[in-house]
Structure 1
Amino acid sequence: MAETLTSQTPYDGVTVLRLNRPERLNAINETMLGELRDACAGLRADPSVRAVVLTGAGRGFCSGIDMRDFGPGMLAADDPAIDRLRFQEAMAALPLAIENLPQPVIAAVNGPCVGGGLALCLAADIRIASSAATFGNAAILLGLSGAEMGMSYHLPRIVGTSVAADWMLTGRTVDAQEADRRGLVSRLVAPEQLLDTAIETARAIAQLAPLGVQMTKRALQTNTDAASLPAAMELENRNQVLTHATDEAAGRRRNWEG
């Protein structure tokens, strides 16, 4: 049994992965670091899982790294630079693990989403927020770079360069309404509706053809950085040819045609 995560399957094909350190606003400690990495590896290898909901227990989504009680692996500023680099790379591997899942990931942001928590949220494919959610890039307030764990890559692509610079250079807290207005989230819902909305979205995706869904996710990720429209279309065209030839696509076409 995991100490810092819970996993549920409310519907076939849907996994709800919940960060579970509510007394610390689900801050990432050494145990969670390992358990979240292992959970992503398990999901990646499980073809029965077709969509994932990532959320937090209690009143927070994730408050970032646990600065007060991370565990024995926490390094000091005077530790060798190579060791501190390895630590940073281990943290940065978490959003990579989420982004690299073949299944679409829906972040259900239920409360404070800060630092490393924001990085996890940005790595998701879809972000749905409670009206009680808040977002912040707090590293710069601690004298560190505000660019960490993929944030300088993801955030400008989602909200634009100027807005990303505003948030990352000031470290200010962004409320759910501003996050919605700037396009950080796709939907803003009442707190009591958040999890149901995220699960229903995941359930709708899970009912679709897995290959079509996964090819769509890959195309979105790849073509965000496509060099040109023709380059993006090359990938799209090949994906369509591959998915068109599957038995599942043929069956769905027959149902569609009546």
Structure 2
Amino acid sequence: MTKSASDTPRLLIEARGPVEWVTLNRPDALNALNPGMIEDLRDYFLGLPDRRDVRIVVLRGAGRAFCAGLDLKNESSANDTASGGGVQRGLKTQRRIAEIVMAMRRCPQPIISLIQGAACGGGFSLALASDIRIAGESARMNCAYIRIGLGGCDIGSSYFLPRLVGASLAAELILTGKFISAERALRVGLVAQVVPDAGLEAAAQEDIDLMLTTSPLGLRMSKEALNINLDAGGIEAAIALEDRNQILCAQTEDFREGLKSFLTRKPPVWKDA
């Protein structure tokens, strides 16, 4: 749990066994990203590769919004954007925000985002960088950057969106900054499912329970292969990575435990070994 100068936690981190529930905790500001929250998120996700105790991460926002993007009402945030504060200062801040989504992709833990209310700008990018997106019925997402005089391509949006929804819809969202509703997001495959806002946690738990029945190494390597093969040069490269991962997994105690579990119909006891 991290705290601001006023001793209010910016991130609430709750461990439920091997799952960490990470809550953006600035509800009065619609969980907008101020400098402190940016640093907290960056430090948290950069630290995950060394944490074998955490198998899955759930990311959500407190209150009625997921994340309204950069806190432009915060003087420090506004001065450090690409439109002010000088090139060097702006680029440094820009890169530190971008490092959050890069760390989300690099960490071995699957990330589930629970999206209710606004997911705008940087908040949209946090959702896009997640592995699974579950939307509440109130969810509204957009590339807000272009609406404030910046470009619509920011914090990974020009990378994630075309891969998730195709070039045409990505262009529509990036070039206009228009909102996409939960219903349309489901229709185009941007989110995995839409549920009532009150049902977001239960919807996530269903996926969590299934992922926890898999071997720890197998789950980590599956995320790795999905990430790398999005940019694979061809099917040969994609299959080579899959072959490598399967042979590595097959040498572990957990693979033998998985076979035993399948044959005896008893739940496996994973050792991550």
TM-score grouping bracket, smaller chain normalisation: over 0.9
Q: Could you tell me how far 1:86 is from its partner in structure 2?
A: 1.1
Q: Could you tell me how far 1:112 is from its partner in structure 2?
A: 0.8
Secondary structure of 1:108's aligned partner: strand
Secondary structure of 2:190's aligned partner: coil
2:58 to 38, 43, 53: 53
1:145 to 141, 147, 151: 151
1:28 maps to 2:43: no
Conserved in 1, the CA contact under 8 Å of 2:135 and 2:182? yes
1:16 maps to 2:21: yes
d(CA) in 1 for partners of 2:21 and 2:258? Answer: 27
Deviation track 1:20-55 (CA, whole Å, cap 9, x = no partner) reads: 000011000011011111222343322111001000
Secondary structure of 1:79's aligned partner: coil
| Structure 2: stretches of 5+ with no match in the other structure | 3-8, 265-273
Corresponding pairs, count: 257
| Structure 1: stretches of 5+ with no match in the other structure | none
1:40 maps to 2:45: yes
Secondary structure of 2:79's aligned partner: coil
Tell me which residue corresponds to 2:136: 130
d(CA) in 1 for partners of 2:235 and 2:84? Answer: 48
186-195 or 42-51: which moved more? 42-51
Q: CA RMSD in A?
A: 1.5
Conserved in 2, the CA contact under 8 Å of 1:28 and 1:70? no
d(CA) in 1 for partners of 2:149 and 2:78? Answer: 21
Q: Could you tell me how far 1:72 is from its partner in structure 2?
A: 6.9
Secondary structure of 1:4's aligned partner: strand
Conserved in 2, the CA contact under 8 Å of 1:209 and 1:248? yes
1:74 maps to 2:41: no
Identical-pair percentage: 39
Conserved in 2, the CA contact under 8 Å of 1:146 and 1:169? yes
Structure 2 letter corresponding to 1:241: I
Q: Which has the higher contact order (CA 8 A, sep 6+)?
A: 1
Tell me which residue corresponds to 1:226: 232
TM-score w.r.t. structure 2 length?
A: 0.90
1:62 maps to 2:46: no
Secondary structure of 1:16's aligned partner: strand
Conserved in 2, the CA contact under 8 Å of 1:51 and 1:203? no
Conserved in 1, the CA contact under 8 Å of 2:69 and 2:121? yes
d(CA) in 1 for partners of 2:84 and 2:38? Answer: 23
Conserved in 1, the CA contact under 8 Å of 2:79 and 2:85? no
Q: Could you tell me how far 1:70 is from its partner in structure 2?
A: 5.4
Tell me which residue corresponds to 2:5: none
d(CA) in 1 for partners of 2:172 and 2:134? Answer: 22
Conserved in 1, the CA contact under 8 Å of 2:137 and 2:195? yes
Q: Spell out structure 1 runs of 4+ moving beyond 6 A.
A: none
d(CA) in 2 for partners of 1:204 and 1:78? Answer: 46
Q: Could you tell me how far 1:110 is from its partner in structure 2?
A: 1.7
Q: 1:113 to 1:73 in 2, by over 3 A?
A: closer
d(CA) in 2 for partners of 1:78 and 1:132? Answer: 33
